[in-house]
Amino acid sequence: MRILVLSVLSSLFLVPAAAWGQAPPDSPPPVPSPPPDLSVAPPEPPKPPAAAVVAPKPSSMTARWDHGAWLETADKAFRIHVGGRTQFDAVGSWSDDNVRAASPGGIGPFNDAVNFRRARLEIDGWLFGVVDFFFEYDFLNTFDSGKMVDPQDDFGGRTLNTPVPTDLWMSVNHIPFIRTLRAGNMKPPIGFEHLTSSRFLGLLERSYQFDAFIENGDNGFAPGIQLLDWTEDQRLTFQIGVFSNSRSIFGWNVGNDEWQYVGRVTGLPWYEEGGRFMLHLGVGASYDGLDDGNTRYRARPLLRNGPAALHNIVAVARLDADHQVRVNPELFVNLGPLSLQTEYTAVWVSDVTRILQTPTQSNVVLSPTGFFAHGVYAEAQYFLTGEHRQYGKTGLHGSGAATGRVTPRHNVGWGEHASASGGGIGAWQLGARYSYLDLTDGAILGGRLHDVTAGLSWYLNPNFKIQANYSHGWRRIAGSTASGSFQQAGVTFRADI
């Protein structure tokens, strides 16, 4: 055994000489390597794989105040705004006795009221610099659920608040040759005062013609798709869209051939000093299939005395018909602190076969006939403190070319808050408007209206204002003793961020 172990160790440690770098005696001499060919470029080292293109991400956002709280990235590709508006109204109402009479054509009790006119929450912004969005809900729309329970209830049965969508849309922007493609619930592009936000109205309410021809029972918002474009200098804008004629505040509709084809063109032949001096001209038009084969044109007093389900109706024409065509030319002028605006709306209705309701008519069958209705208003606003009405040139992240937010030269402030707020008296604005509506044509007696409204607005800062209005209206209802005058005075406190 001892001899076997020694033999194994000897074979491990007594290695051949070649294992230590010594060539055995019979090995051939090594062959030298050829010299390098310097005329040939050395091969390039392998390139690392190309890095994948990664979309930017909002790694960090900062907060800033721009008439509201915004979060945004440094390159502004991502921007988020959370805000809302609240409008609180108090209105006193009175009229001639015969206007309130229960006889055919009367408007019924004409009550004083206190109510929240609007209460909306919104979140809007931009994603990746291309997509923008606006998600807004109004929590103080009303509907009447009680007429089914007690049709004789003068106070509208059970009038309930319900949340509904207003601006609820998404857009793809900066598309070559198109600019913007938008889908969702939005304002169809017709009417200057329609496309002006309720935050920026110089008087408490819009005119009769908006109420009769554009509001449409859906608050002026409709589900659809819209294209928006403008020239490089933003002096011309173009909008066209297809919408569902829902006549519903809930942003949906079902039915056949109930489409609205709506377009608008605007121009700025004169624009100086950032819009302080300017002239806006525009025209909107639509061809509308009717919801369930009928349509409604109605007007309310120009201050809202209570929730929508309880408003008095001073003129109305509800008709069975086939379709309607609307045309709406518009003009707006800024002359420094003075602004002037006017619009005219004409509506042609085809194949009217039944009068469903007017102040003095119901369920009247007609041979197919046409119906023409129209309205006009003229409005002037003047800033006693020298400001001017701001103007948005395009519909980028908005509804279209229209007036915007008022920014006082000096915000209201006193005492220890004077330096932070501006220490001024805010902006003071006088306003006046004449409004006319005609819903009477041939056998259809919807009524004729005139109104003069005067107002005073106090803008304490860009986000808060107090407004007071006085409205005096006259109605003429053919075949009724309920013609006469009605008046209102109201005040509102309005804030938005």
Domain boundaries, the chain: 84-118+196-496
pLDDT greater than 60 at residue 14: no
Domain 84-118+196-496, CATH among 3.40.1390.10, 3.40.50.300, 3.40.50.2000, 2.40.160.10: 2.40.160.10
Position 52 scores a pLDDT of: 58
Report yes or no: 448 and 475 within 8 Å, Cβ to Cβ: yes
User: Can you tell me the distance from the alpha carbon of 122 to that of 348, in angstroms, rounded to the nearest whole number?
Assistant: 36
Given pLDDT bands bounded at 50, 70 and 90, which one contains residue 293? Answer: very high
| Cβ neighbours of residue 301 closer than 8 Å, sequence gap 6 or more | 93, 110, 311, 312, 314, 471, 473, 486, 488
Amino acid at 10: S
Residue 443: C-alpha distances to residues 284, 361, 373, 440 (Å): 29, 10, 13, 8
User: Can you tell me the distance from the alpha carbon of 68 to that of 109, in angstroms, rounded to the nearest whole number?
Assistant: 41
Which letter does DSSP use for residue 34 in this model? P
User: Can you tell me the distance from the alpha carbon of 318 to that of 148, in angstroms, rounded to the nearest whole number?
Assistant: 21
Given pLDDT bands bounded at 50, 70 and 90, which one contains residue 160? Answer: confident
- The predicted-structure confidence for 210-238, as pLDDT tens digits, reads as follows 999 999 989 999 999 999 999 999 999 99
Chain-centre distance for alpha carbon 281:
20
Report yes or no: 110 and 95 within 8 Å, Cβ to Cβ: yes
| The token pair that represents 381 in the structure block | 């606003």
Question: Of 57, 25, 233, 232, which is closest to residue 129 (Cα–Cα)?
Answer: 57
Q: What is the mean pLDDT of the chain?
A: 89
Given pLDDT bands bounded at 50, 70 and 90, which one contains residue 34? Answer: low
- The predicted-structure confidence for 363-403, as pLDDT tens digits, reads as follows 999 999 999 999 999 999 999 999 999 999 999 999 999 99
pLDDT greater than 90 at residue 28: no
Residue 252: C-alpha distances to residues 33, 194, 224, 243, 245 (Å): 85, 20, 10, 10, 9
Given pLDDT bands bounded at 50, 70 and 90, which one contains residue 17? Answer: very low
What average pLDDT does this structure show over 453-457?
98
Report yes or no: 110 and 98 within 8 Å, Cβ to Cβ: no
Position 43 scores a pLDDT of: 56
pLDDT greater than 90 at residue 303: yes
Position 44 scores a pLDDT of: 57
User: Can you tell me the distance from the alpha carbon of 475 to that of 314, in angstroms, rounded to the nearest whole number?
Assistant: 7
pTM summary value? 0.85
User: Can you tell me the distance from the alpha carbon of 295 to that of 302, in angstroms, rounded to the nearest whole number?
Assistant: 22
Phi-psi region at 400: left, alpha or beta (left = phi > 0; alpha = psi -120 to 50): left
User: Can you tell me the distance from the alpha carbon of 169 to that of 102, in angstroms, rounded to the nearest whole number?
Assistant: 44
By three-state DSSP, how is residue 423 classified?
coil
What average pLDDT does this structure show over 149-153?
50
| Cβ neighbours of residue 388 closer than 8 Å, sequence gap 6 or more | 275, 276, 334, 336, 337, 339
Position 301 scores a pLDDT of: 97
